[in-house]
Chain A
Amino acid sequence: MAEFLSLPDAIARYVDDGATVALEGFTHLIPFAAGHEIIRQGKRDLTLIRMTPDLIYDQMIGAGCAKKLIFSWGGNPGVGSLHRLRDAVEKGWPRRIDILEHSHAAMANAFEAGAAGLPLAVLRGYIGSDLPKVNDQIKFIECPFTGERLAAVPSIRPDVSIVHAQKADRHGNVLVEGIVGVQKEAVMAARTSIVTVEEVVDTLDTHPNACVIPGWVINAVARAPGGAKPSYTHGYYPRSNKFYKDWDAIARDREAFTAWLDEHVHGKTHQEA
């Protein structure tokens, strides 16, 4: 059964230096509070996995947490580039990081294969694309039944997956609503998992086919109200499009970024954040 921990305790216990970590949430429910706690605790040499690195990985990469990024679309949605990611890839600041890039289809399949306990995912993908030339984790296999050439990628099995959700009940069962992305797959594919939630309630009070992640496949649940801001939590608060636009100017400049990080991440504790 999931254990209720404070967010700092959950990160300290489950996120080790050098770990492979997936913070998921497809545009929605991005676990910013958890990412900021990872930055505050000074975690290093992480392999970060996320379909859309978004601002959270831009911040973690800029803070020097990552040695490698596995992703499938690395932009600031509706705005432009992730400048901290680009600075790390192009100029090695604050450190050089390796990248491994996929398509969304391949990563979604790889998370699902990880959840299913398989070593690989098979898909009808990457036909005619140059991506297999620059990513040695993309191979092609022949279907043993039809002979069709299909793409294969290794399943994703993070050391720890972290997702944000609307609520947990007192047994640590978690309800995810709205755009559910790959959160359930990320949790079930991982060796350990942390879920941050807006609130803890007596009963989830939901319908029979809702996206519920049972507490027994989760290691830690941590309360983090507002924990997805500036992304959004369906039913709780909207996306701050303004922050996503403002981030462009902050992230373009190393000094502006460092000042932002000092004030808004290092300068706060989890409770204040």
Chain B
Amino acid sequence: MSDGYTSGEMMTVTASRALRDGQSCFVGIGLPSEAANLARLTHAPNVVLIYESGTLATKPEVLPLSIGDGELCETALTTVSVPEMFRYWVQGGKIDVGFLGAAQIDKYANLNTTLIGDYTDPKVRLPGGGGAPEMATCTGEIFITLKHSKRTFVEAVDFVTTVGFGRDGTARDGVPHIGAGPTRVITDLCVMQPDPETRELTVTSIHPGVGRDEIIEATGWAIAFADDVTDTAEPSDQELHVLRALKARTETHHAAS
């Protein structure tokens, strides 16, 4: 990895590039929110950012700490009720991309945000589903961004909170009105995409300076590499400048409140 940027910045910049200008995007808090706002401030000024609290086309100056920060409402085109958000906008098919994080992901891109261990006797209890279960099936496609580690990337999730392609890769087959599901997973090491046939997550692009062995080591199943794996493009100076300024503004703002 070059000295010029961190692996975290590489991940955020790569995730932001996945969004195209003019798309509408339902944004999860944390890494997805950072990436989506970076896209809006760089190559995709007309991207429409939507948060589940009901804020449509919001343009926050600083990244929100919670999904319902006042900043999101004050900079939005309009704010709708939460039932309207989930009924008309999500279920109604008005959102192109859902941008999610998770605590656990498996080889069929199923997401777990409910618990680690057994449901009746959890080792770690996590917050639960929130907006993700329906976002994952009602939006056009799903991007997922999270840090790569064996604890996070597991063979099979303990609990399917939010479906990717199900336990055997076929959960979306023949289901009416269902979105394409996870089309890319962006980590701090690489980009993965579902295999067109099996739906198993497969590495399609590797970040600069990262070796295949690192990816294999950080993945909890025998990860496959696509035949035509590419090198992920490095972050540009402008992207890094905008991202760092955004994070600095955010830190100053939240430290004061």
Contacts and interface: CB of A to CB of B under 8 A. Distances in A.
Is chain B's binding surface mostly helix, strand, loop or mixed?
Answer: loop
14 contacts: A27-B69, A73-B131, A81-B127, A103-B132, A105-B87, A109-B86, A112-B83, A124-B138, A125-B133, A130-B159, A131-B133, A179-B70, A182-B81, A241-B254
Contacts of B55: 179
B73 A51 contact: no
B222 interface: no
Of A86, A128, A182, A244, the most chain B CB neighbours within 10 A belong to A128
Contact of A28 (B70, B132, B133, B177): B70
B251 to A, nearest CB: 11
A123 B134 contact: yes
Interface in B80-128: 80-83, 85-87, 90-91, 110, 114, 119, 122, 125-128
Interface string B125-166: 111111111100110000000000000000000011111001
Contact of A124 (B52, B122, B137, B172): B137
Interface of A: 26-28, 51-52, 71-75, 77-78, 81, 86, 89-90, 101-105, 108-109, 111-112, 123-131, 134, 148, 178-182, 184-185, 211, 232, 234, 238-242, 244
B22 interface: no
Contacts of A178: 70, 73, 79
B87 A104 contact: no
How big is the B interface, by class? 35 or more
A239 B133 CA distance: 28
B122 to A, nearest CB: 7
Given A103-B134, A130-B160, A75 B127 contact: yes
